[in-house]
């Protein structure tokens, strides 16, 4: 059994429909340092991160405190944008996300279902405790798998919130939900 701490990245310097891969805002950088202080006593343990800049920057303060290098893993990237939406440009991503936020995974195109299956497979196969710096939809997909809930959005995790899951013979189980955002993104 492994305990997985899924951390939503700190606040980015730009919105997801303005920049495909922004770093952290100044507030986000400060929050990442505060988070490292809160999580420091848990480890050291493995740190995994999405390849996106905002997640990698969020992981650095904790990695520095533990004296380890985070492992970048594409399985923890944010939900992919289907090609037909991406070809309309970055501004199309926001309305698309708002549209699908009330839907279920089984109604999504193959690219989205495959992303979720890969993510859940990676989480279920984890054998060691880890802190995973990731994204809004990743956390929702993981909670959904643990609760056997097919909705895309189950909660609105706040920046730097930490949702805890455990792996076991029965798959994923939810230990605690992270703090929810007061302002909804979707």
Neighbours of 185 (CB within 10 A): 16
For the stretch 91-108, pLDDT in tens is 999 999 999 999 999 999
H-state helical runs in 67-135: 83-86, 93-100, 110-124
3-176: CATH class = alpha beta
Using a cut of 0.75, tell me whether the model's pTM lies above it. Answer: yes
pLDDT in tens, 51-91: 999 999 999 999 999 999 999 999 999 999 999 999 999 99
Biggest alpha carbon distance in the chain?
45
């Amino acid at each position: 059994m492994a305990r997985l701490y899924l951390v939503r990245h700190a606040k980015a310097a730009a919105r997801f429909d303005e920049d495909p891969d922004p770093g952290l805002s100044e507030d986000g950088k400060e929050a990442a340092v505060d988070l490292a202080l809160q999580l420091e006593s848990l480890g050291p343990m493995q740190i995994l991160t999405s390849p996106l800049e905002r997640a990698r920057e969020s992981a650095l303060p904790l990695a520095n405190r533990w004296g380890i290098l985070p492992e970048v893993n594409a399985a923890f990237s944010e939900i992919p944008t289907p090609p037909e939406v991406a070809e309309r440009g970055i501004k199309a991503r926001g309305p698309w996300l708002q549209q699908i936020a009330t839907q279920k995974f089984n109604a999504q195109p193959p690219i989205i279902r495959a992303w979720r299956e890969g993510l859940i497979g990676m989480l279920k196969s984890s054998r060691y405790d880890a802190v995973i710096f990731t994204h809004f939809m990743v956390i929702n997909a993981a909670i959904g798998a643990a609760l056997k809930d097919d909705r895309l959005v189950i909660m609105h995790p706040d920046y730097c919130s930490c949702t805890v899951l455990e792996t076991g013979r029965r798959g994923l189980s939810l230990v605690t939900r992270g703090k929810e955002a007061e302002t909804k993104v979707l």
